[in-house]
Amino acid sequence: MRTRNRVLRAAASEIVQSGYHGTTLARVAARADVTLGAVSFHFPTKQALIQEVYRDGVKRTSVAVASQAGDDAEPLQRLADLTLRLASLLLNDDDPTVLACSRLSRDDPTGHFAWRDTWCGQVAGLANRACDAPTALGACSSETIGFLVRCLLMGVEAWAVHAGADHHAALRQLAAAWRQAMPGGHMEAEG
């Protein structure tokens, strides 16, 4: 099981760096420091390996989204919290699986790897509730709020792949951005 997990992590790192088309079983084997036979034993094809990385990342994302679903905080605060939670998954140095899902989703013109679908529904629901809340300021647009969250997370994705990027600083900056955009909001950067 340890070899399988090492191969999955190596594949996720390779996907982040090289994308779907640049990832090969041989490169994954080298990154995992295992033989090509060991990779093929667990994952007979590149597609099987990629699918497992994607499933694992979607599972991790779904757990994070579900953990934000039952909170009693204001909808906009919950949306900010969800954004920060997703960002912390993307910036996880120890487990690049979610970032690999994001890369697969971004690179896939067919829509087969639709990682963003894992969280976009929750974002839309929270944005709608935020605009319907009595505390909503002025002309509130749930579409604009949803767009903001997508842009913030795309920025985090771009930040995550830069060598030497300070991921903790990125989370602090994201929390600070939400604090400025949401008077009275309280954000604590995870990690």
Q: Which two tokens stand for residue 44?
A: 């007979």
Task: Kindly give the parts of the chain with pLDDT less than 70.
Answer: 70-71, 137, 163-164, 183-191
CA atoms within 13 Å, Cβ hemisphere of 52: 16
- Domains along the chain with CATH numbers: 55-181 (1.10.357)
**pLDDT at residue 169, rounded to an integer:** 86
pLDDT tens digits for range 51-73: 999 999 999 999 999 987 766 77
Global pTM reads: 0.87
How far is residue 91 from each of residues 3, 171, 174, measured CA to CA in Å? 24, 8, 12
